[in-house]
Structure 1
Amino acid sequence: MNLVTGGTGLVGAHLLLHLLQNGEKVKALFRTENSIIKTKKLFNQFNQNDLFHQIEWVEGDVNNIPSLEIAFENISTVYHCAALISFDSKDEALLRKVNIEGTANMVNLALAFGVNSFCYVSSIAALGDLSENETIITEETEWNPEKPHSDYALSKYGAEMEIWRAQQEGLNCVIVNPGVILGSGFWDKGSGEIFTKIANGLPFYTKGSTGFVAVEDVVKIMYILQKENISGERFTIVGENINFHTISFTIAECLKVKRPFFYAKPFFTGLYWRLDWIFAELFFQPRRFSRATAKSLHSTDFYSNKKIKDKLNYSFLPIKEYCSSISSFYSKNG
């Protein structure tokens, strides 16, 4: 039996679908009944309603140990996808609570219940920092604590430390570090917002770059790693390194809408995050655009996927073609 946390989010929902399509039995954590609706819609989108009803839903939370004890009964494999994603400085404590303490709770119970294998979904944000003579970020790039990191990155890095601690205590663990995950079904948050904003006429673009990957690739790789009993390693899961203006123009073309036309220079994004901070403080609103976000939009990071490609002889989906297929789903269901 497989346990999936974050089954009501992009990666978790697609993972549930993939596991069930491969004949696996699954349990999935949920916090509220309403949160399950999007997962159900995703299964409906792929005409897999019968599979959706095979999910054993367990009400629980990664910081609620009694609920986790119920969820861990008869579990052999865990996929820990649940996480808080936020770049608002006000969420620092909550990020640590959910991402670090929640992960510690998960591995502690996995050890207590004799789980065979544990797959943790981290992020490229938790990978290392390039030194002066380096140009490509890999799994071996060293984390530099002296360099600035977002609270989100720190929380994912801290969660990875809990994973490696559990590995030393006898739990078979593997970590995947995906780039920006593109996928259908969740249009109001994460990468889904990119499609929604561009469809609604997003005017701005930047010239930074990062790694992108299709959610189908992420869940397939996670499943293969567990089936092949690979542990004690981490893998960067990136299909392609792409400029932000290229990805935004591609999505606009696929959606058949006007593409972003205004280049937001670092000065502009720097001004915008400061104004956003002022409005958030004055009107007690959540941050919509943080300093970390502004910085990332102009960073030109390049990530290597060589390790996972060599390990599994894996071929990633082309991002441009994948954007076209997601855009089709968005036009029908967005």
Structure 2
Amino acid sequence: MNVMITGATGLIGSRLVRILAGQGFHIKALVRDKKRAAKLVSEPVEFITGDLNNEVALEEALRDCKYLFHLAADYRLWVPDPESMTRTNVEGTRLLMQKALEAGVERIVYTSSVCVLGTNADGSPANEDASSSVTDMISPYKKSKFLAEKVVMDMVRDEGLPAVIVNPSTPVGPGDSRPTPTGTMVLNAARDGGMFYADTGLNVAHVDDIAHGHLLALQKGKIGRRYILGGDNLSLKDLFAMTARITHKPGPKFKVPQPVMYSAGFTGEMLARLGLIKNPVATMDSVRMASKKMYYSSDRAEKELGYTHRPATEAVQDAVCWFKEQRMLN
């Protein structure tokens, strides 16, 4: 049975490929660079060279496929040209969904994000019905993901697109080769104990649980319905302390005041705009995002899909072990 996947070399996508291969699927993956993809994905995969704005490549990748997993996205905290991110995340998603309809794909799992959802003012975990609008989206990335999910939802309603939406929280675990922004925080905390922390919080889930949730969404999800794929809600201080315990480091000690964070964000952006650095450690958007706790509940996925998640400490432990194996802790 043929299945097409975008984002196969990403953290969640690469783990999903392992699961799909184990289920006996013939996997077709849209990638920009076949040689690089072959280094990151060890399972048997038919690679199609192209991107989300390449109609010919999309048609080739979708040909004879029964299912589609769309995980690919331009995910950067700092982007000098927000329009390039919109072209990939929004217009690329629109084109892919149109081509999937034309190809007769029977079922689609679209990977959105919890970042498009609202949060509860009292800090309690929010669910899939937490309201938000595009004006609530702080960064270009969040805005693009909000608009891309809307494209999918509108096509489900207006064109009969057979898509299920999953909203992963923060994936942590093995295979984070880039690494992701959260993976970078875990890696740094593993190195130095995460001595400095912001007063914020996030939902942490093992990447393999999120990847398996994608398969469950394909098998059991309702068309047009959202499912949060998450794990444990943790303060950033607790996440750093958990990581420090694993690597026997001192642990977090100093909470960074917001004025200092804003100063760091402003400085990082200015240096990036001047071309003096490529990827600032902090930006104004990242500081604004850190001003609220991103806590979520996976109750719907647990009840309707049979989704389960292991404790966050296992996700961090597996991430640290993988970083050690890759010699990234040196």
Taking structure 1 as the reference length, the TM-score comes to 0.90
Percent identity for Structure 1 against Structure 2: 24
In the alignment, is the contact (CA less than 8 A) between 1:187 and 1:193 conserved in 2?
Answer: no
Correspondence for 1:140: 129
Correspondence for 2:171: 181
Unaligned 5+ residue runs, structure 1?
Answer: 44-51
**Once structures 1 and 2 are overlaid, which stretch shifts more, 258-267 or 203-212?**
258-267
In the alignment, is the contact (CA less than 8 A) between 2:228 and 2:301 conserved in 1?
Answer: yes
What SS is found at the alignment partner of 1:2?
Answer: strand
> Is 2:47 the partner of 1:57?
yes
Which residue of 262, 274, 278 maps to 2:266?
274
Q: What do the CA deviations read for 1:218-246 (whole angstroms, capped 9, x no partner)?
A: 11111012123632201111111110111
Q: Distance in 1 between matches of 2:199 and 2:154?
A: 38
In the alignment, is the contact (CA less than 8 A) between 1:8 and 1:38 conserved in 2?
Answer: no
Q: What do the CA deviations read for 1:124-150 (whole angstroms, capped 9, x no partner)?
A: 1111354x6894421111113444522
In the alignment, is the contact (CA less than 8 A) between 2:137 and 2:143 conserved in 1?
Answer: no
Q: What do the CA deviations read for 1:77-128 (whole angstroms, capped 9, x no partner)?
A: 0000100112225231111011001100110000000000111111111113
Q: How is 1:295-310 mapped onto 2 (pairs within 5 angstroms)? A: 295-310=288-303
Q: Distance in 2 between matches of 1:302 and 1:6?
A: 25
Taking structure 2 as the reference length, the TM-score comes to 0.91
Unaligned 5+ residue runs, structure 2?
Answer: none
In the alignment, is the contact (CA less than 8 A) between 1:126 and 1:153 conserved in 2?
Answer: yes
Q: Distance in 2 between matches of 1:60 and 1:283?
A: 29
> Is 2:191 the partner of 1:200?
yes
Which residue of 68, 77, 89 maps to 1:87?
77
Q: How is 1:225-264 mapped onto 2 (pairs within 5 angstroms)? A: 225-228=217-220, 230-264=222-256
Aligned length: 322
Which residue of 205, 210, 216 maps to 2:208?
216
Q: Distance in 1 between matches of 2:187 and 2:274?
A: 28
**Once structures 1 and 2 are overlaid, which stretch shifts more, 29-38 or 231-240?**
29-38
Which residue of 316, 321, 324 maps to 1:323?
316
Correspondence for 2:96: 106
Task: Calculate the aligned-residue CA RMSD, in Å.
Answer: 2.0
Q: Distance in 2 between matches of 1:261 and 1:133?
A: 25
Q: Distance in 2 between matches of 1:57 and 1:68?
A: 12
Q: How is 1:15-26 mapped onto 2 (pairs within 5 angstroms)? A: 15-26=16-27
Q: Distance in 2 between matches of 1:213 and 1:249?
A: 17
In the alignment, is the contact (CA less than 8 A) between 2:69 and 2:110 conserved in 1?
Answer: yes
